[in-house]
Amino acid sequence: MQPSSLSGLPAGVGEALEAEGVAELYPPQQAAVEAGVVDGDSLVAAVPTASGKTLIAELAMLSAIERGGTALYIVPLRALASEKKTEFERWEDHGITIGVSTGNYESDGEWLATRDIIVATSEKVDSLIRNGAPWIDDLTCVVSDEVHLVDDSHRGPTLEVTLAKLRKVNSGLQTVALSATVGNAGVIADWLNAELVESDWRPIDLRTGVHFGNAIDFDDGSKREVPVDRGEDQTARLVADALDTEEDGQGGSSLVFVNSRRNAESSARKLTDVTAPRLTGPERDDLRELAEEIRGVSDTDTSEDLADAVEQGSAFHHAGLASEHRSLVEDAFRARLIKCVSATPTLAAGVNTPARRVIVRDWRRYDGEFGGMKPLDVLEIHQMCGRAGRPGLDPYGEAVLLANDADTKEELFERYLWADAEPVRSKLAAEPALRTHVLATVASGFASTRDGLLSFLDNTLYATQTDDEGRLAAVTDTVLDYLAANDFVERERDAGAESLAATGIGHTVSRLYLDPMSAAEMIDGLRTVATGDAPSDVVDAGTGTSADTGEFIMTAENTDDDEPGFGTYVRADAENGDASGEAIDGEANADAEDGDETAAASSEVTPLGIYHLVSRTPDMYELYLKSGDRETYTELCYEREKEFLGDIPSEYEDVRFEDWLASLKTARLLEDWATEVDEDRMAERYGVGPGDIRGKVDTAEWLLRAAETLARDVEGVDGDTVVAVREARKRIEYGVREELLDLAGVRNVGRKRARRLFEAGVKTRADLREADKGTVLGALRGRERTAERILENAGREDPSMDDVRPDKSASAAATAGSASDEDGEGQASLGDFR
DNA sequence: TTCGGACACCTGTAGACAGCATGTC
DNA sequence: CTACAGGTGTCCGAA
């Protein structure tokens, strides 16, 4: 079947595809067409990676647009959104417009509503529905990429609920779901009421095998001799073998999958011995340039180590890297400049980075819940293997698993190579997932009664595949109790039917895209300030055990609302009530004017306190406590106990206290960021990479903004607290101490420049308008253009720097200032803000 | 005394979405 | 209840 023979596509599209080299549709694509994908019929395509799934989606979307509709393409990662956008942009010549919408990026210019194709992450789509984006109910075609991710316990439910909502709002919506080959694609098709196209067909041959001893045994029965000398590294030998086997005039690149960041880094370092000697002169030059670029991204050890490896043609890739690092590595690998990448599973699920040979070195990974090394899922291994073979570059792809002994070799064959991927199972019926989605579903009007809610949930994958009818309802009821107890939802039970409505704050929480539990925690903490009910005591270690105190501390609110089994945060800290009988109820502040000794202590809200509040929320990913950290942070906890909002769990309550300390570690990281501590210092102090730091800061910024909104909207939080939250947020946003906030707000002035200006005596935006130009120029290291732009942005009437000479002393002050700042950033100055 | 190698013990463990309003060195 | 690779420290013998 030729593209140009297809009807229903915009004019010229078929021909354009043929011009791209698509002379004939691949068998799965043809099957998709026969199943009606260009006629608006829904479809589930469960086919291997790189076998033309995207084209199936394009055919669906383009034909839908030709019929006058619009299409939405849902991706699981932000990075994939931009990848797909770039891919689809080739249709702009045919009058198709593309828009992207993700958390950190939105197509500029025209509004998304005018776009034919919108690419967005599943969370963003969910959020757009919650916020009532007008174009959502005009969609005629939705594509869900990597739909097998509904199996993911954290993010799967979002995709599931979002698809259900889209289908409810748009009757007759064409749903095209693209999936990896999974055990039960048929169930997904049933759920979506779609045709199923399932196939193992691949455009490039993929051979998978296991290496043990002196050869790779492939699953097709063939063998390739790759002898490993004694003492020689197995991985290195296989990478060398691929590089030394020329196809198409070039050696093949390799992708090595390992199970930890550290292993990725050390593997990359070791493999430089293989890659470095095989580089050509020009490659060496390009790599040196790339290494410089990498060093420029961040001055952490991670960045330096990466640059060192890249210089020699090898690289590592994991989530500790800054996103710029990652894309530099990915691009250079695709450009065949980097010969080998050692990666954690990030790369298997991420953007397209194919290699001639994929080496799966580690097939087990540590899992705390499991209690040891857990074998990876078949699906995960298949995804990794699927990265082998670059279309158009390699005549074939090879995926090799490594075994140390014959038994392991057998096991790998049976467990992975000959096995089908696991079935996908919905994870919707879990409290954290439903907490969020039940609230959103009620808040955005998809259900107004308990029955309506349950019948909406009946449209999810969970409902189509479960045997246990009652479970979803049971969890839903638990969650409703929680939401009602926290005043996010109002329920009225009259005449048998139970009606549901989101409260004002419930709507806000839903729109802010917060986990309701995060919101409850933040509201609770913020109210503590207003009531003067700050933690007065780091818990009554001696008075009463946590096990039994809960019984005699029943506050008014507890007796009313606190039913067992939910609402950990309603007033979960009963153990904090000690024999003194102090009023600990946050809500009961009507009678709290009788502020005792705690009132004075609580009047001061510090950034650390606020950072801890958002850090202990379930929306903030936890930082590990390493050995020695427990001690460090316990100490910090006592030192600064007055600053924390809400109660501190007892030290004897192991798990909760550990969690609390882990949040404290995050909070201190944020405080460091807001006190201008250098990135490399922070990386060292917290044992994280630049990517982690930026991730934390980013999440904190989001949560702090949400906290600010909540503080404003909710009753019982005073104005000073709102201001304190705003300031704490701004300090995270700019990464500066308080005194630089004004300066850093000026465009083109970041944390570094603000500090230099400040040390030179230019301390405010107003100073910028009045200050001696020589001083400004000196502080900015004589950069005239920069100085002019900054003065202009500060509102100065005559920003011109013509004939201005940089003031030497200003320059010296600026340098000395920032230098001493760095030096003085030891522990002594920690916590020194004002 | 110093150095290097073998070996025992210790340590630490993958990933990354959202809001909102514009711009870092 | 469960692992394991890499890094670090220790001990020994040789130079």
**A371 class by beta-carbon count within 10 Å (0-12 exposed, 13-18 middle, 19+ buried):** exposed
Closest protein CA to C1' of nucleotide C6, residue: A263
Nearest nt (C1') from A267 Cα: C6
Residues A329, A335: Cα–Cα separation, whole Å: 10
Q: What is the CA radius of gyration of chain A?
A: 29
Mean pLDDT of all residues in A17-38: 94
Burial A570-579 (b: 16+ CB within 10 A, else e): bbbbbbbbbe
Among A138-142, A325-329, A655-659, A695-699, the minimum mean pLDDT is found in: A655-659
Our measurement of CA A436 to C1' B1, in angstroms, reads 68
User: How much of chain A exceeds pLDDT 70, in percent?
Assistant: 88
Residues A276, A133: Cα–Cα separation, whole Å: 52
CA atoms within 13 Å, Cβ hemisphere of A799: 14
Residues A772, A774: Cα–Cα separation, whole Å: 5
Computed over every residue of chain A, the mean pLDDT equals 85
Question: What CA–CA distances, in Å, run from A2 to A16, A18, A22, A230, A597?
Answer: 12, 8, 8, 54, 82
Model confidence band, residue A530 (pLDDT cutoffs 50, 70, 90): low
Matching fold, domains A3-198 and A431-512: no
CB-CB contact of A325 with A290 (8 Å): no
**Which CATH superfamily groups domain A3-198?**
P-loop containing nucleotide triphosphate hydrolases (3.40.50.300)
CA atoms within 13 Å, Cβ hemisphere of A59: 33
**A525 class by beta-carbon count within 10 Å (0-12 exposed, 13-18 middle, 19+ buried):** buried
CB-CB contact of A234 with A227 (8 Å): no
Residue-level pLDDT at A800: 85
Total length of chain A: 834
In tens, the pLDDT along A622-681 reads: 888 887 888 889 889 999 999 999 889 888 777 788 889 999 999 999 999 999 998 888
Eight-state DSSP code of residue A276: G
Residue-level pLDDT at A123: 96
Residue-level pLDDT at A333: 95
Our measurement of CA A785 to C1' B18, in angstroms, reads 37
CB-CB contact of A431 with A478 (8 Å): yes
* H or E segment and range at residue A500: strand A497-502
Our measurement of CA A102 to C1' B3, in angstroms, reads 58
Instruction: Assign 3-class secondary structure to A636-680.
Output: HHHHCHHHCCCCCCCCCCHHHHHHHHHHHHHHHHHHHHCCCCCHH
Mean pLDDT of all residues in A579-587: 35
User: How much of chain A exceeds pLDDT 90, in percent?
Assistant: 60
The answer to whether the C-beta of A262 is closer than 7 A to strand C is yes
Our measurement of CA A271 to C1' B7, in angstroms, reads 26
In tens, the pLDDT along A332-389 reads: 999 999 999 999 988 998 899 999 999 999 999 988 888 788 999 999 999 999 999 9
Domain A516-734 has CATH 1.10.3380.20: yes
Nearest nt (C1') from A235 Cα: C5
Chain A 355-374, CB < 7 Å to strand C: 362, 364, 366, 370-373
* Residues with Cβ within 8 Å of residue A83, at least 6 apart in sequence: A351, A352
Residues A550, A652: Cα–Cα separation, whole Å: 15
Chain A 554-613, CB < 7 Å to strand C: none
Mean pLDDT of all residues in A192-211: 93
Residue with the larger pLDDT of the pair A641 and A541: A641
CB-CB contact of A175 with A167 (8 Å): yes
Residue with the larger pLDDT of the pair A534 and A395: A395
Mean pLDDT of all residues in A282-292: 95
Closest protein CA to C1' of nucleotide C5, residue: A263
In tens, the pLDDT along A483-502 reads: 999 999 999 987 778 899 99
Closest protein CA to C1' of nucleotide B25, residue: A752
Nearest nt (C1') from A152 Cα: B15
Our measurement of CA A626 to C1' B10, in angstroms, reads 13
Residues A167, A192: Cα–Cα separation, whole Å: 9
Nearest nt (C1') from A371 Cα: C2
Our measurement of CA A363 to C1' C1, in angstroms, reads 22
Residue-level pLDDT at A423: 95
Among A237-246, A541-550, A775-784, the minimum mean pLDDT is found in: A541-550
Does residue A455 carry a pLDDT above 80?
yes
Model confidence band, residue A14 (pLDDT cutoffs 50, 70, 90): very high
**A590 class by beta-carbon count within 10 Å (0-12 exposed, 13-18 middle, 19+ buried):** exposed
Does residue A249 carry a pLDDT above 50?
yes
Our measurement of CA A540 to C1' C5, in angstroms, reads 43
In tens, the pLDDT along A667-714 reads: 999 999 999 998 888 998 898 999 999 999 999 999 999 999 999 999
List residues forming the annotated binding site of A for ATP.
29
Does residue A435 carry a pLDDT above 60?
yes
Nearest nt (C1') from A76 Cα: B17
Long-range pairs of A212-215 with CB within 8 A, sequence gap ≥ 24: A212/A402, A212/A403, A212/A404, A212/A405, A212/A406, A212/A408, A212/A409
Model confidence band, residue A582 (pLDDT cutoffs 50, 70, 90): very low
The end-to-end CA distance of chain A, in Å, is 72
Taking each helix axis from N to C end, the angle separating A450-457 and A469-485, rounded to the nearest 10 degrees, works out to: 130
Our measurement of CA A216 to C1' B6, in angstroms, reads 32
Q: Where are the domains of chain A?
A: 3-198, 205-402, 431-512, 516-734, 738-829
Give the other-Cβ count within 10 Å of A203's Cβ: 15
Residue-level pLDDT at A816: 62
Q: Which residues pair with A207 in a beta bridge?
A: A398
Residue with the larger pLDDT of the pair A625 and A592: A625
Instruction: Write out which nucleotides of chain B lie closer than 7 A to a protein Cβ.
Output: 11-25
Residue-level pLDDT at A108: 62
Residues A390, A501: Cα–Cα separation, whole Å: 53
Model confidence band, residue A795 (pLDDT cutoffs 50, 70, 90): confident
Mean pLDDT of all residues in A378-401: 90
**Which CATH superfamily groups domain A205-402?**
P-loop containing nucleotide triphosphate hydrolases (3.40.50.300)
CATH fold group of domain A431-512: Sec63 N-terminal domain-like fold (1.10.3380)
Residues A660, A575: Cα–Cα separation, whole Å: 15
Sign (positive/negative) of CA torsion A234, A239, A241, A244? Answer: negative
The phi and psi torsions of A44 (rounded to 5 degrees) equal -115, 120
Instruction: Write out which nucleotides of chain C lie closer than 7 A to a protein Cβ.
Output: 1-7
Residues A120, A78: Cα–Cα separation, whole Å: 8
* Residues with Cβ within 8 Å of residue A507, at least 6 apart in sequence: A443
Residues A495, A212: Cα–Cα separation, whole Å: 71
Among A305-319, A778-792, A818-832, the minimum mean pLDDT is found in: A818-832
Residue-level pLDDT at A531: 56
